[in-house]
C-alpha cells in the first residue's frame, strides 16, 4: 500500500513502542488498546489491517490472523503530543475484538464505578 516514510514526529517510548487505541470507525466504540513498534505500524499501513506488537511474546501479531476477527484499517491518527495512535478500524469476522470472546476489551466495570445510561454503551459485567 504505502511506501511513505513514517512521520518523524512520532514519539516511541524507550522500548520502541507507542500505544494504539483501537476504535470502531462508525460508532466510536473503543475496542482495545495495544502497542505498535515501527515495524507493526508499517505493516498496518502496508497491509490495510491492524498489526500490533506483543510485549509478552516479543513479536508482531496480525490481529485476527487465526480467529478471522481482523481489523480493517479505515483511518490512523496521531495525538497532539505524537505519543499515542488512534487506529480507526472496521472490526471483521464475528465482530469480536477481545481475546475473551467479547466485542470490546472494555466489557467490565469495577465495583463502585458510575453506571451509564447512554444507549450506545454496551452492557458491562462487574469486574
- pLDDT given at position 84: 97
pLDDT in tens, the chain (127 residues): 456 777 678 999 999 999 999 999 999 999 999 999 999 999 999 999 999 999 999 999 999 999 999 999 999 999 999 999 999 999 999 999 999 999 999 999 899 988 876 555 555 555 5
Residue spans of the domains in the chain: they are 18-109
CATH code given to domain 18-109: 3.10.20.810
- pLDDT given at position 117: 60
- CA separation for the pair 14, 87 (Å, rounded): 22
Contact of 98 with 104, CB cutoff 8 Å: yes
**DSSP 8-state secondary structure symbol assigned to residue 72:** E
State the pairing for strand pair 30-36/18-24: antiparallel
- pLDDT given at position 6: 73
Amino acid at each position: 500500500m504505502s511506501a511513505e516514510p513514517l512521520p518523524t514526529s512520532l514519539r516511541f517510548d524507550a522500548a520502541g513502542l507507542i500505544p494504539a487505541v483501537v476504535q470502531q470507525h462508525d460508532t466510536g466504540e473503543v475496542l482495545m488498546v495495544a502497542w505498535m513498534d515501527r515495524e507493526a505500524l508499517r505493516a498496518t499501513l502496508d497491509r490495510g489491517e491492524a498489526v500490533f506488537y506483543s510485549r509478552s511474546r516479543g513479536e508482531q501479531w496480525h490481529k485476527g490472523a487465526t480467529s478471522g476477527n481482523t481489523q480493517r484499517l479505515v483511518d490512523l491518527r496521531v495525538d497532539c503530543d505524537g505519543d499515542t495512535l488512534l487506529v480507526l478500524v472496521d472490526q471483521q469476522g464475528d465482530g469480536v475484538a477481545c481475546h475473551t470472546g467479547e466485542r470490546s476489551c472494555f466489557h467490565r466495570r469495577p465495583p463502585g464505578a458510575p453506571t451509564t445510561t447512554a444507549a450506545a454503551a454496551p452492557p458491562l459485567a462487574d469486574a
